[in-house]
Amino acid sequence: MAKGIWRLTVRSDFAAAHALRNYCGKCENMHGHNFAVEAVVEGQTLTPDTEIVLDFKVLKQELKAVLELLDHKMLNEVPPFDTQNPSSENLARFIYRHLAQRLADHEAANGVRVHAVTVSEKAAQSATYMEM
């Protein structure tokens, strides 16, 4: 019998400013975005009582806690972006890894892992990070 998997998706956003180092264009100057974030987690088992992978409320709270590290900040001043470019790609990886750690430490997230995080500066373009 095939083993199933469930994926849950939550969306949020944060506002921040950044300047892309070594970018030959306007984005090298400080500018701001309302970044959209989509986090996808996955699990193979449902809780025995409520038959859910993870409470959406828990997932949204943990994502919000990660985004608080970035919200209304000058990203170039927030480690690791004080030395690493605060590109959408690097922001997606940062959020992915911080969310993964928070879920690993959360009792309710039994066996749930982060599948992917997508960061968008505008609706028409995004960067997605996932680990194999």
Binding residues: 18, 31, 33
> Which tokens is 78 given?
């927030």
Please say whether the beta carbons of 37 and 117 come within 8 A. Answer: yes
Binding residues for Zn(2+): 18, 31, 33
Q: Which of 28, 68, 72, 131 is catalytic?
A: 72
State yes or no: is 24 an active-site residue.
no
State yes or no: is 27 an active-site residue.
yes
CA distances to 9, 35, 51, 82, 124 from 47, in Å:
18, 33, 5, 41, 37
Q: Which of 38, 62, 115, 121 is catalytic?
A: 121
Supply the residues annotated as catalytic: 27, 72, 121
